[in-house]
Amino acid sequence: MLDFVIRNACLTLVAAVALPALAQVPNADAQRPFAQPQQMVDIGGRRLNLYCSGSGPVTVVFDSPSGDAGWSWFKVQPQVAKRTRACVYDRAGLGFSDPSPRPGTAGNAVDDLHRLLTAAAIAPPYVMVGNSYGGGIVQLYTYRHRADVKGLVLVEAQHEDETARLDRASGGKLQAMYDMQAAASKACASAAEAGFVPGSAMWNNCIGPMPADTSRALGAAQLAERHSAAFWRAAQSENSNFAVGDAELRAARGPWGDLPLLVLSRGVSPYAIPGKPQSALNKAVEMENLALHKEMAALSTRGKQRVVAGAGHLIQIDRPDAVVAAISDILDELQR
């Protein structure tokens, strides 16, 4: 899955090609709730970390890329909470949530999220927002709990056929990169179990620098997570079950009816080489990515697709303003 590759192998490249200056960087106070556990909700013998703020008749629920916690939305959630209730959470084993004895499949994540919202008394209606792997989870959640979900914002969201189709478009290079990343991730998980040695090659390869736009507290929390063997086990479980999630989403796939839906697509290729013209191969991959998103938007009679200029795969980091605007537009539709 692309988000896992980017976060663990292509972070420097993405930072180089994106335009974070377009987005307002929240101050340390706004980031503080994301740097520590908030509401630890028991969902049946284990707890998931939940953070909600704001109030309103509709709750916006965010889900994060693979291997990432609710803090992925630290630039977006506070802005949405100015208008309505907005909730982020950490999937099992990520961020501050307890690990799960179950495999990290999309279906299990949907079940966890439903238990979480029920146990925390976060009643519908919901607008679900998800990036990449999290975008697949919120789609699957909507198929399984259609009456509860009144709108969707899919941010570079997972499509069940994206790996196969993008790999064909890349002439097999994408799958080769995924395989290489899977091997690197497995090595990081093994190193985490043994304990990282600061300054070692594995420490540099697996921990990496924290994004420059995080506060000291949030950066420290993210760094601590990446030192944790529990994090790597959870991330590995998600990574090794992507095909299961694709199959679950494929089995559920069908039209959304008139569900308000916005699909956000990247305007900057994560595979682009800064300073060099776009290759024919790169262009083919990006065109196929847009086609996948166009197909998702077409599943609703009220579906629309937007290409976000200046944003790579993690649009909520590069252009949080575009994500906030999309959510606001969905909320406006629900008020009409």
Question: If we measure between CA atoms, which residue out of 94, 122, 130, 126 comes closest to residue 264?
Answer: 130
Separation CA 226–CA 224 (nearest Å) = 5
* Amino acid 202: pLDDT: 92
- Which residue has tokens 């908030």? 38
Contacts of 217 (CB under 8 A, 6+ apart): 28, 31, 32, 35, 36
Distance between CA atoms of 228 and 188, rounded to whole angstroms? 11
Segment (H or E) for 29: helix 28-31
Q: Where are the alpha helices (DSSP H) in 170-241?
A: 173-194, 201-206, 216-226, 229-240
Q: pLDDT at position 206, please?
A: 92
In order, the DSSP letters of 223-273 are: HHHHT-HHHHHHHHHHHHTHHHHHHHHHHH----BT--EEEEEESS-TT--
Count of CB atoms within 10 A of residue 57's CB?
10
Enumerate the β-bridge partners of residue 300: 257
Say how far apart CA 170 and CA 285 lie, in whole Å.
6
| Residue 235 zone, left/alpha/beta (φ > 0; ψ -120 to 50; rest) | alpha
pLDDT along the chain (336 residues), means of 10: 43 28 56 97 98 98 97 97 98 98 98 98 98 98 98 98 94 90 90 92 87 88 94 94 97 98 96 85 93 98 98 96 98 95
pLDDT of residue 280: 86
* Total domains, the chain: 1
- Over the Cα atoms of the chain, what is R_g? 18
> pTM here?
0.91
130 is in which domain, residue-wise?
2-335
**Nearest-angstrom CA–CA distance, 286 and 313:** 11
In one letter, which amino acid is 308? V
DSSP summary character for residue 210: P
Q: What is the pLDDT, as a whole number, of residue 317? A: 95
Contact 66, 3 (CB under 8 A): yes
Placement of tokens 């499949």 in the chain: 105
Handedness of CA 114, 116, 121, 123 (dihedral sign): negative
The strand order across the sheet containing 303-308 reads 39-42, 47-53, 85-89, 59-63, 126-131, 149-155, 261-266, 303-308
- Is-contact 188 227, C-beta < 8 A? no
Amino acid at 317: I
Q: Where does residue 331 fall: left (phi above 0), alpha (psi -120 to 50 degrees), or beta otherwise? A: alpha
CATH number, position 320: 3.40.50.1820
pLDDT given for residue 3 in this prediction? 52
How many residues in total does the chain contain? 336
